[in-house]
Chain A
Amino acid sequence: MPAPIRLRELIRTIRTARTQAEEREMIQKECAAIRSSFREEDNTYRCRNVAKLLYMHMLGYPAHFGQLECLKLIASQKFTDKRIGYLGAMLLLDERQDVHLLMTNCIKNDLNHSTQYVQGLALCTLGCMGSSEMCRDLAGEVEKLLKTSNSYLRKKAALCAVHVIRKVPELMEMFLPATKNLLNEKNHGVLHTSVVLLTEMCERSPDMLAHFRKLVPQLVRILKNLIMSGYSPEHDVSGISDPFLQVRILRLLRILGRNDDDSSEAMNDILAQVATNTETSKNVGNAILYETVLTIMDIKSESGLRVLAINILGRFLLNNDKNIRYVALTSLLKTVQTDHNAVQRHRSTIVDCLKDLDVSIKRRAMELSFALVNGNNIRGMMKELLYFLDSCEPEFKADCASGIFLAAEKYAPSKRWHIDTIMRVLTTAGSYVRDDAVPNLIQLITNSVEMHAYTVQRLYKAILGDYSQQPLVQVAAWCIGEYGDLLVSGQCEEEEPIQVTEDEVLDILESVLISNMSTSVTRGYALTAIMKLSTRFTCTVNRIKKVVSIYGSSIDVELQQRAVEYNALFKKYDHMRSALLERMPVMEKVTTNGPTEIVQTNGETEPAPLETKPPPSGPQPTSQANDLLDLLGGNDITPVIPTAPTSKPASAGGELLDLLGDINLTGAPAAPPAPASVPQTSQPPFLLDGLSSQPLFNDITTGIPSITAYSKNGLKIEFTFERSNTNPSVTVITIQASNSTELDMTDFVFQAAVPKTFQLQLLSPSSSIVPAFNTGTITQVIKVLNPQKQQLRMRIKLTYNHKGSAMQDLAEELWEGGCDRWQVPPNCTMGLRS
């Protein structure tokens, strides 16, 4: 059998292969030759064969049959054999193979070998692939070698110790005594690996960390020597002495100085020195400066040092080298939270980076820009960001758009600017805008009352040309539906008004409906908008009726349902149509996360999921509301029906709507939802958003004595007063109803009404039964907002069942004397009805 070819030959042969298949063929042939050679137990050429096998393994071909051969090589006495054997072990073997344990004995023997190179090999291999069992067995040997004076071995032993600690953390204490004078070495190799070992120990165990803190002065000294020492040829890299060691030491200092004032103090000087003395013309210097900056930011450094660090980062940003810019942006992003002002100074440079060609730099610059936006620079920043949005890659557009919306919301200098910005985003990146932005935008537009005409005009113009961007079309459709009358009337102060006829508006909405590009949601918006226009437009109602009836047979169930309901509105409920489709009131922004989030109760047709109202648990206040209104009569009192303000008694029918048509019920939307009304809930309401139904013991009582507001027929109602802590013009009244008769009072309902200048909120009562013999009370909380600090009048009405018959009663309270005292007026009307 001829001698197997050398590794070099093999490599050359494989390189000549022109295709993957050819290469595979060659390798298979060689593998077969190697396998037969192994079977023959050929000692002379074993190491050559294994070397070739390792090369093929590196190219990605399976080489597991060589594992045992590696072991045989390790056991051999020749150094060349051992070398390849250990290399093979590192590449082919790991703890997943059972074979590896056979190595343990070999390694043990080699760790005590007379030649340092053999010992070195053994240490390397153990440090590379040693399993936990092997590490446990051999840790003692490693520790012994760690204390030797031979620096070649010491440095390898230190790295091996790192691996042992990673595999078997319990052995960490074993290495502790050996670390005592590791840092006293002159040899940089040993120093470097010792620092790595110390870093590993500190990261794994807080006790070790505390223990090694005393090494900080020594580390500082070593670092100082590195910087101050002159040129030393063995450690020089582009003019800097051993930058890798410097970086390592800085990293260890960072770990030691974190959260510790004394160590941080000890490091301040050296960090400042490194920061100022390091040469920045080459990458090496910048690498060290980067590490220094990271360290300064992480420890408890003094503010002067931090400013220095941020200035270094700012300087990096101006550097031509893109690597450095990238690194600087990443670090600035991390520090912008803590050192905001310092970073602001470099804002213009950061904004310039938005125009960089590199994708990662652009992304970081964008994130950083958003973090830096504030009230002062919003206009300038927004210009840059909008320009960026125009020109950036699609993967950024969604994030950028969301960021712009957030920033605009927080810092918009004027409503018109805000709306312009939104329009710009919608038109440039319309299809990338996130879905949840649409309701937010709609709410924003509703709230800027004076800009309605301008907004709707601009939106109309925007979708005239192109109605493919869904979020834009949705917002536009909604606005046109809402403010279509402003559009056709041609009144607009901000801009040149355009002449639009009703037919043109309907044309565009219909084309949105028909278009293939419109999603189902968009179509829903468009249909609702057309419907709303039926009350706002005068001459095209027939056309609208026709469109709506066509969609009554649409395949899309959502559209079909809407169309059918609108049809019904036209036919059976025409009298209700105008009230139902009235202009939406200003919506309060609800920031709570409860189920009653921004309810876009534009009838039942909003695409936002309309949460089901909780079913009424108490008696319907509907008919009673009528009574209350009759009683109170007059125009000076605004009844507040004690229901959640988000709903209205709906199904009562026409007469109620007529009644309520004139009354200003703040916060209640014009179009009632289909389900029946809701009695008082204790969820945070739209109305008095500043208040919450938090426990009232947070509020301070202001010494207003409690009064008995009503006492008749055994029913006693007491009022206790507190001034709300959160809002001084809110008074919180707790009523307690008690029953001194011998029978319970059931279905107890307490209602109240206040004059227009006040706002009232009734929370849920604790129950609806007042137990007899004063054994218990019903508690209910009323919150009264009195912004004008006027004299409060309140009319209360009580309803309950007692002794088998229904009882009702009314009372009037007068709060006199500048909100200090309550009185029951002597001539209060009391009537008993059954």
Chain B
Amino acid sequence: MIKFFLMVNKQGQTRLSKYYEHVEISKRTLLETEVIKSCLSRSNEQCSFIEFKDFKLIYRQYAALFIVVGVNDTENEMAIYEFIHNFVEVLDEYFSRVVNNV
């Protein structure tokens, strides 16, 4: 089950966030900074799945934007990885040149 969906840029500014489980407002910013920190510290050589507290993070980088999805154990990580790309393609169709505008 997807717990949250984030789009965060390299400076740590949240561009989009949607939580599917209740998280306190104050905790949200904290969570987002931690998530982006762990994503930024990964090099290109490392895989896109991170074990983070009690859920998994699947992230994908598009230029300066990170799209991070937090899931629990039951999800197929690679399918989510594909889903992120699908999402970006959909946005691209609707709004064109999505990635360049961040």
Contacts and interface: CB of A to CB of B under 8 A. Distances in A.
Contact of B47 (A57, A294, A358): A358
A585 B35 CA distance: 57
B39 to A, nearest CB: 14
Contacts of A566: none
Contacts of B17: 58
Contacts of B83: 244
A17 B101 CA distance: 17
Interface in B32-82: 32, 43, 45-51, 76-79, 81-82
Contacts of A59: 14
B85 to A, nearest CB: 8
A96 B22 CA distance: 10
Nearest to B80: A287
B10 interface: no
A336 interface: no
A371 interface: no
Contact of B76 (A57, A247, A322, A358): A247
Contacts of B48: 322-323
Interface residues of B, number: 24
Interface string A93-121: 01010000000000000000000000000
Nearest to B17: A58
Contact of B28 (A60, A94, A291, A326): A60
Given A290-B76, A323-B49, A60 B14 contact: yes
B87 to A, nearest CB: 11
A400 B83 CA distance: 36
Most buried by A among B47, B48, B78: B78
Contacts of A532: none
A241 B25 CA distance: 40
A326 B82 contact: no
A77 B82 CA distance: 39
Contact of A94 (B22, B76, B79): B22
B96 interface: no
A628 interface: no
A614 B102 CA distance: 75
A323 B17 CA distance: 24
Given A287-B82, A358-B47, A360-B51, A62 B25 contact: yes
Contacts of A327: 49, 77-78
B46 A357 contact: yes
Given A58-B16, A359-B46, A324 B22 contact: no
Nearest to A287: B78
Given A291-B76, A360-B51, A284 B82 contact: yes
Which DSSP category, helix, strand, loop or mixed, fits chain A's interface?
A: helix
A243 interface: yes
A302 to B, nearest CB: 24
A795 interface: no
Nearest to A294: B76
A286 B46 contact: no
Interface in A686-738: none
A73 interface: no
B47 A290 contact: no
Contacts of A284: 82
Contacts of A58: 14, 16-17
Given A58-B17, A237-B86, A247-B76, A287 B81 contact: yes
B14 to A, nearest CB: 6
A361 B86 contact: no
A325 interface: yes
A60 B29 contact: yes
Nearest to B76: A291
Given A60-B28, A361-B47, A323 B76 contact: no
B72 to A, nearest CB: 13
In this complex, the interface size class of chain A, counting residues with CB under 8 Å from chain B, is: 20 to 34
Contact of B79 (A244, A358, A359): A244
Contacts of A96: 22
A283 interface: yes
Nearest to B45: A357
A59 B32 CA distance: 10
A325 B81 contact: no
A361 B50 CA distance: 10
Contact of B25 (A60, A244, A290): A60
B81 A358 contact: no
Contacts of B86: 237, 244
Contacts of B14: 58-60
B82 A237 contact: yes
B11 to A, nearest CB: 11
Interface in A276-295: 283-284, 286-287, 290-291, 294
Contacts of B76: 247, 251, 287, 290-291, 294
Contacts of B45: 322, 357-358
Contacts of A322: 45-48
Contacts of B51: 360
A326 B47 contact: yes
Contacts of A243: 79, 82
A326 B29 CA distance: 29
B28 to A, nearest CB: 6
Interface string A323-351: 11111000000000000000000000000
B28 A360 contact: no
A77 B43 CA distance: 51
A7 to B, nearest CB: 14
B82 A323 contact: no
A323 B77 CA distance: 9
B13 to A, nearest CB: 8
Contacts of A325: 47
Interface in A248-304: 251, 283-284, 286-287, 290-291, 294
A375 B2 CA distance: 43
A287 B79 contact: yes
A764 B100 CA distance: 85
Most buried by B among A243, A287, A359: A287
Most buried by A among B46, B50, B51, B77: B46
7 contacts: A60-B29, A244-B79, A326-B49, A327-B49, A357-B43, A357-B45, A360-B47
Given A283-B78, A286-B78, A360-B47, 4 more contacts: A58-B16, A60-B32, A290-B79, A327-B77
Interface of A: 57-60, 62, 94, 96, 237, 243-244, 247, 251, 283-284, 286-287, 290-291, 294, 322-327, 357-361
List the 3 shortest-distance A-B pairs measured between CB atoms, nearest first.
A287-B78, A322-B47, A358-B46
